């Protein structure tokens, strides 16, 4: 009976460790490359429109959303005196550590700089890998 309980607990721990998640981190700077502490960062699942993470950049202008379910995300970064920065439909894959470094332009908050997910190649600076989605039809068309 004790063995069964231990095996059950070990199985539950293994299932818990297999979360299908990724992470998004980055740094926010202004056009002169000075960091922007206290910038608001919102990460919303673009499919469900559910807020997945929100916070502010730290004193070095950095943010980290460490555990996000795999999916597609809209990222919005705002700070007073700057144009709003948005990335739309950025894909996040299993175990990916995506990096989003934003440069805020001076301006009114009503002005928005938008980047669409199709034009965003995600660079993983931790291990120098680049991720991009490829449609199977693109591979077939190569032949």
The CATH number linked to 33 is: 2.60.40.10
- 108-132 pLDDT per residue, tens: 756 566 776 554 555 555 555 555 5
The per-residue pLDDT for range 56-114, each reduced to its tens digit, is 999 999 999 999 999 999 999 999 999 999 999 999 999 999 999 999 999 875 656 67
55-67: pLDDT as tens digits: 999 999 999 999 9
**Rounded to the nearest 5°, which phi and psi values hold at 54?**
-145, 150
Tell me, yes or no, whether 120 lies in a domain: yes
> Domain count of the chain?
1
Full domain range(s) for residue 66: 20-131
Q: 8 in a domain, yes or no?
A: no
């Amino acid at each position: 009976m004790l063995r069964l309980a231990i095996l059950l607990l070990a199985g539950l721990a293994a299932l818990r460790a297999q979360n299908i998640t990724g992470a998004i981190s980055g740094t926010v700077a202004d056009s002169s490359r000075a960091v922007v502490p206290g910038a608001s960062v919102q990460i919303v699942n673009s499919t469900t429109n559910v807020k997945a993470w929100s916070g502010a950049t730290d004193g070095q202008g950095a943010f980290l959303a460490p555990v996000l379910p795999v999916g597609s995300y809209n990222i919005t970064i705002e700070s007073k005196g700057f144009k709003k920065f948005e990335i739309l439909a950025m894909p996040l894959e299993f175990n990916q550590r995506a990096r989003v470094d934003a440069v805020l332009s001076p301006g009114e908050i009503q002005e928005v700089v938008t980047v669409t997910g199709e034009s965003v190649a995600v660079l993983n600076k931790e291990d120098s890998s680049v991720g991009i989605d490829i449609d199977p039809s693109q591979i077939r068309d190569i032949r």
